[in-house]
Amino acid sequence: MRSRTLALGAVAGAALLASATLPSYASGTSKTASVREGSVSAAALLAKVTSCSQLSNGKYRTDDETSASIPVCGKNGAVFWKADMDVDCDGQRTSKCNENTDPWYQDDTAFHQSNGKPLKADSLPYVVVPSSSGIWNYAGAGIKGGGVVAVIYNNKVEYAVVGDTGPTKIIGEASYATAQALGVNPDPESGGADSGVTYILFKNSQVSPIENHGAAVSLGDQLAKQFIRDN
């Protein structure tokens, strides 16, 4: 639900200078990042999204300062895009996600837990979709809050849910927990990935309760297998 005014590229220099002191997840060496969720490999999923049948009426930017170059593409049973990853820390206030750790912090998410509270970005893997606009209407494409997403980066697969909405013209954002699980620096100000992230959103899927990550992995694995069979 944020509107970033500072692109990742603007802080890349600072992040590079700090790389010597970054924790292990920044280089993808942590134990968490080495674990593949489900039984479907990143290579098997990526082999099905090598070409794009564009669904969106236009293309998205990855940050305010970049040109619009990212289309939303369609496949049987899913939509996908290939972009960067900005880190979303919005939702419940925690020691890792708050006004002091994130200049763009907001204490709410578009979709809520089963108890009505916002999601927890530092513990729940979730993905941000662009708010509906003339470019693309995610709901009209069968994408809903709690829908399952396979997020692929550096040959790793992480299953997440659709948990928040973002600016109408920007794409490529996921929660702190998603970044951390994929070995991406989850710092919302200086972290993220500049490119190379694939998001596959499975149509008409929904995890209930939305905060049950285990259920997202189980359903995601089933849907990934079906996606490969159908494409």
User: Between the CA of residue 39 and those of 45, 141, 219, 222, 231, what are the distances in Å?
Assistant: 11, 26, 12, 9, 18
Q: 93-145: per-residue pLDDT in tens? A: 999 999 999 999 999 999 999 999 999 999 999 999 999 999 999 999 999 99
What percent of the chain has a predicted confidence (pLDDT) above 90? 84
Q: Can you give the pLDDT at residue 114?
A: 97
- Single out the residue of 87, 53, 79, 112 nearest to residue 198, CA to CA: 79
User: Under 8 Å CB-to-CB from 128, ≥6 apart: which residues?
Assistant: 1, 88, 163, 164, 165, 166, 173, 174, 175
What does the chain come to in residues? 231
Residue 36's pLDDT is: 67
pLDDT in tens, 11-20: 333 333 333 3
Q: Which two tokens stand for residue 162?
A: 């659709």
Name residue 198's beta-bridge partners.
Answer: 82, 152
The predicted pLDDT at position 173 comes to: 98
Output the pTM of the full model: 0.86
- C-alpha gyration radius of the chain: 16
Does residue 8 have a pLDDT over 70? no
Number of other CB atoms surrounding residue 57 within 10 Å: 12
Predicted local confidence at residue 35, as pLDDT: 53
